[in-house]
Amino acid sequence: MGNEVAAAFVSDQQRKLRDIRRRMLDTLGQLSEADVNWRPGAESNSVANLAVHVCGNLTQRYVAQMGGAPDVRDRAAEFSLDVHRTVDQLQWMVDSTFDAVDEILAGFTPERLLETVQLRDRQEPLLHIITHTINHASEHLGQMLYIAKMRLGTAWKSV
């Protein structure tokens, strides 16, 4: 992969992550503590679960797998019915996670895109992990937006 194309790819992914972060924070800023912890149904996730899950995924993939930090993720706990957070806690979590991801990507060299790491039961190139995590975060952002619109009705402001 040419260095110029690779650098443009990483820059584009950073832009997408900044947009996801902005939209998550804007959404959280419109919700109350009751709203972020509300579940549409017994088998559904709350906005809090979704934010914790996205942050857990990004931290595992970028900080641990790409950055070399220990992987301390407890994925099952991210979906626990016991997950209850304040809006401030969630906003701090989103900010600190996305800051860490941005720091990893800022020091990313184009050659690393084809480097492979262990992802569950297989080796995956970092290129795949970057695109997959951004798609994953976008999907969960959509769920957060949907819940926020359900909770706020006409008071919802598009982010």
Q: Are 50 and 87 in contact (CB under 8 A)?
A: no
pLDDT at 81 over 60: yes
pLDDT bracket for residue 16 (50, 70, 90): very high
pTM for this entry:
0.94
Maximum separation of any 2 CA atoms in the chain, in Å: 49
List, in sequence order, every beta strand (DSSP E) within the chain.
116-119, 122-125
H helix and E strand count, the chain: 6, 2
Name the 3-class secondary structure at 125: strand
Q: Give the model's pLDDT for residue 128.
A: 93
Where do we find the tokens 């149904």?
41
Measured between alpha carbons, how far is 40 from 58 in angstroms, rounded to an integer? Answer: 25
pLDDT at 153 over 90: yes
pLDDT at 1 over 80: no
pLDDT in tens, 46-60: 999 999 999 999 999
Domains in the chain, CATH or no CATH each: 3-155 (1.20.120.450)
pLDDT bracket for residue 159 (50, 70, 90): confident
Q: Give the model's pLDDT for residue 92.
A: 98
Q: Give the model's pLDDT for residue 62.
A: 95
